Amino acid sequence: MASGIFAILDDVAALLDDVAMMSKVAAKKTAGILGDDLAVNAEKASGFASTREIPVLWAITKGSLLNKLIILPLAFLMSAFLPWAVTIVLVLGGLYLAYEGAEKIYEFFFPHPKADESLVAEGLTESEILAIEKERVKSAIVTDFILSLEIVIIALGTVVTQPIGTQIMVVCVIALLATVGVYGIVALIVRMDEAGFKLIKRSKSEKSFSRILGNILVQALPKVIKSLSVIGTIALLLVSGGIFVHNIDFFHHFLPQLPSMLTEFIVGLIVGFLCLMIVMGVKKTWSLIKKK
C-alpha cells in the first residue's frame, strides 16, 4: 500500500518536472510576444490620471483573463481533434507577427500623425473622460485577445505531441504568466513616474538621493516604454521567423551559412514586409474602388 502511494507520488513528481521543463521551453518561444504584449499594454495603460491608472489596468487585466477563458478551451479542442490545424494556425499567427513587426518599422520611418490621447487634458468633462477611458480599455482588451491567441497557439505548438493533460498544464501556466506576469510588470512601469513624484516631494534637498532617484524614475518612464517597443519589434520578427524556419521546409534550408537567429530575423523581416505590401496594396485598391 505504502509503496503504491510512493509510486504515485514519484509519477506526479516526474510529471510536474516534465511540465516545468516544457513550460520553460514554451516561455522561451513566447518571450517575444510577451515582450510586445508588455510594451503595448504599458503604452495603452499610460496617459491616464494617476488615480485612474490602476483601476484601468485592473479592468484590462480582467478582460485578459476572460480572453484566456475563451481561447484555452478552443485551443485544446483543436489540439485533441484537429492537431494538424495547430501548425496552420501557428503559421497564420506568424504571418500576423511578421506583419506587425514590419508595420512598426515602416511607421518609424514614415510616421503618421496621431491625435493626443492623453486623458489629463483640460476642458474634458468627467463623462467624456470616462467614455474615452472605456474606449481605450476596450481597444486594449481586443489587442490582448489577438496577442493571447498567438501566445497560446505558440505554447501549444511546443507540446502538441505530448498527452493532452501535459498540454493543458503547460499552456495554462504560460497563459497565466502572460496575464499575471505581464500586467504585474505593466503596473510597476506605469507607476514609475508617480513613485518618482512622491520621492521628489518628500526630498528636503535639491541634491538628496530621493530627489535624484525621483527625477530618474520620472524621466525613465517614456524611455522604458519606447525601449520595450523597440525590443518587442525585434522579438516579433525573431519569433515569426522562427515559426517559418521550423515549420516550412523552404525556409528551413534558407541561408544555411548564417547563424540561426540571424536567419530567423531575416526571414521574419522579408515575410513581414511582403505581408505589409500586400495589405497596403489591398487598402489602396479598395480606396480607389470606393472613390469610383
pLDDT tens for residues 103-121? 989 988 887 655 444 555 5
Note the pLDDT of residue 106: 92
Q: What is the largest CA-CA distance in the chain?
A: 82
Rounding to the nearest 10 degrees, give the CA dihedral for residues 168, 174, 175, 179.
160
Q: Looking at the whole model, is its pTM more than 0.85?
A: no
Beta strands in the chain (DSSP E): none
Amino acid identity, position 233: T
Other C-beta atoms closer than 10 Å to the C-beta of 145 total 17
Closest among 233, 230, 242 to 266, alpha carbons compared:
242
CA angle 250, 271, 232 (to 5 degrees): 120
Scanning 110-191, the segments in alpha helix (DSSP H) are: 126-158, 164-176, 182-190
Q: Report which of residues 83 and 123 the model is more confident about.
A: 83
Q: How many CA atoms lie within 13 A of 134 on its CB side?
A: 6
